[in-house]
Amino acid sequence: DAPGAVADAHEAHVAAVEAVLSAIPATRDAVESAADIAGIQLALTSSGFADGQARWTITCSALEQAVRDQGTGLDLRCTRQDPQP
């Protein structure tokens, strides 16, 4: 069920985006209260935001692939591209 696969991938990606967005306030507060760079790094790596980013990338790639499997080209820019000089 190809359209179902796309819908499932879309729902998973929307849930991942919502998880990242909901983690931002707590992550921001933890970063703001950090006393040094090590504290900032700890705040970022131990937050739901870090886990959410990984989940976002995985679900984004899965959504891209589900759409491509339907014969439609799609580039959601799921992975970070460094700007070219």
* pLDDT tens per residue, range 7-55: 999 999 999 999 989 999 999 999 999 999 999 999 888 878 888 888 9
Spatial distance between the Cα atoms of 67 and 51, rounded to a whole number of angstroms: 25
Confidence (pTM) = 0.76
Give the CA distances from residue 70 to residues 7, 55, 63, in Å, rounded to whole numbers and listed in that order. Answer: 12, 23, 11
Own/partner long-range contacts of 36-39 (Cβ < 8 Å, ≥24 apart): none
3-class state of residue 83 by DSSP = coil
pLDDT tens sequence across 61-78 = 999 999 999 888 888 898
